[in-house]
Amino acid sequence: MTLWPEENVVYVNPEVIEKLGMPRHVQLRINDSQKMVVLRACNANEKHSIIIPSIPMIQFEVSGRKLLEHITEMMGWNDNRPRVIEGVYVPAKELIAFDLENAELAELENEEESYGQS
């Protein structure tokens, strides 16, 4: 999963969706006390369900300005740089947990241009 506050987007790799059994809907939740983001399959009628496109995709994109603002504040990140987090599948709960404490800065192709660094 990649969190990109500057773009207000959360990117999810298709492998993550496959691990959940290719659901049509998922929920993206934050566990503040454990500083985790959780992705779980759900039904269409569940609160905050997100529809997964049925077309083949390189990655699944979720808009989430408020979600990302909350995460950025909670983690004390003082920039909008994208961060990558590896997930852990929890079969007993049928979810994938992403530990925000293990987030790493993403490497971008044109990082110097994007952030004005030299």
Can you give the pLDDT at residue 112? 47
**pTM of this prediction?**
0.85
**CB neighbour burial string for 42-72, b if at least 16 within 10 angstroms, e if fewer:** beeeeeebbebeeeeeeebebebeebbeebb
- Please tell me the predicted confidence (pLDDT) of residue 114: 46
pLDDT tens profile 52-71? 988 777 788 888 899 999 99
Q: Is the pLDDT of residue 31 over 90?
A: yes
Say if residues 28 and 38 touch (Cβ distance below 8 Å): yes
